[in-house]
Copies of this chain bind each other. A is one copy, B any other.
Amino acid sequence: MIRGDGIGPELVDSALTVLDAVADFPIELVDVQAGAGAYRAEGSALSDAGLAVIREADATLKGPVGLPDVRQSDGTEAGLLGGILRNGLDLYANVRPITLLPGVRSALRVDDGIDYVIVRENTEGLYASRGKGVGNDHAMTDTLLVTRAGCERIAHFAFTLASRRSGAPADGVRRVTCVDKANVLRSMYFFRSVFLEVAEQYPDIEAECLYVDAAAQALVLAPEHFDVIVTENLFGDILSDLGGGTVGGIALCPSGNIGDSHAYFEPIHGSAPTIAGQDRANPLGQILATAMLLDHLGERAAGDRIRGAVRAALRGGSVRLNPDGTVASGTRSTTDAVLAALG
């Protein structure tokens, strides 16, 4: 566990209560200090010892991290653990389900039918440039990197996910949509080309390609069309927050950062330091991230129990949401409502 910064600790506490209630198997929990607080205290967002613990773990549950005033010398934020973990552990698939839960009012004029997964490439793209931009006071550049190996594995991941997931788009057609900017950027044309090569190995799944601008419009106008979306790192960052906006806000959105040997699970929202410690933060993203962690450990039934309880609590009105994504009922009573719905 990485409790994280800001609202992180209270969210992880909440999620652990729920985990404890569903786990009918022993779990050894180990705390690792990491994030912006750790960076401020120790000059590093994650110590080598901490990283070793995470490497040993079957999976990691992570709260949000980052504090806006903790910065590196190049001005970018410090303690944004994502880079260290995602690249350090080669967690190449950032899996972000976008699901409109019952009882949640979408900003769109739809009551259901939003149920897709964004598979965000997590180790290259524009993020390959994180901390590596170059320049001076007149100009700065960053680099967008696409490798064949990186594309192949993320495309395979997306098709495998599409063949296994339980949700389906409105038209019942299993599909993987590649989102790129192949008309303008050579790297993105390369991304699309490799995607289409990999697609040939999955003849039962429809493969389609969309430019990122068209995709942004389509996620607003026709979200029911989508099943699995696979895309570049920063595009996935943008589109998943857009998608989050259509399903009640990113406060409700969990994610998994998954590689061949390691994985961590977290909500996609930030650490919201201004509301930390006030019992106002919405723990549902963190709780749903815990369900994804359980799926990953092969404990799908336990994961399903958590998702079912969250749905029941929202449907029954025992959890109420503010328009800004915080919970009207408070962090602790929201957790209690989920626990009650677990039965």
**Measuring CB to CB, which residues of chain A are less than 8 angstroms from any residue of chain B?**
66, 74-77, 80, 83, 105-109, 126-127, 129-135, 137-149, 181-190, 193, 212-214, 216-221, 234-235, 237-242, 244-246, 249-250, 323
Residues of B within 8 A of A133 (CB): 185-187
Residues of B within 8 A of A75 (CB): 182, 186, 189-190, 193
Q: How far is the CA of A183 from the CA of B138 in the complex (A)?
A: 20
Q: Contacts A141-B143, A216-B238: A183 and B66 contacting too (C-beta < 8 A)?
A: yes
Q: How far is the CA of A238 from the CA of B220 in the complex (A)?
A: 12
Q: Is B109 touching A217 in the complex (CB atoms < 8 A)?
A: no
Residues of B within 8 A of A109 (CB): 105-109
Q: Is B142 touching A76 in the complex (CB atoms < 8 A)?
A: no
Q: How far is the CA of A105 from the CA of B220 in the complex (A)?
A: 13
Identify which of A76, A217, A246 gathers the most chain B CB atoms within 10 Å of its CB: A217
Identify which of A107, A109, A131, A212 gathers the most chain B CB atoms within 10 Å of its CB: A107
Q: Is A140 touching B187 in the complex (CB atoms < 8 A)?
A: yes
Residue of B76, B141, B184, B242 near A220 (CB, 8 A) is: B242
Q: Is B76 touching A185 in the complex (CB atoms < 8 A)?
A: yes
Residue of B108, B142, B181 near A187 (CB, 8 A) is: B142
Q: Is B145 touching A249 in the complex (CB atoms < 8 A)?
A: no
Q: Chain B nearest CB: distance from A303 CB in Å?
A: 26
Q: Is B143 touching A139 in the complex (CB atoms < 8 A)?
A: no
Q: How far is the CA of A249 from the CA of B76 in the complex (A)?
A: 35
Identify which of A131, A146, A186, A250 gathers the most chain B CB atoms within 10 Å of its CB: A186
Q: Chain B nearest CB: distance from A125 CB in Å?
A: 10
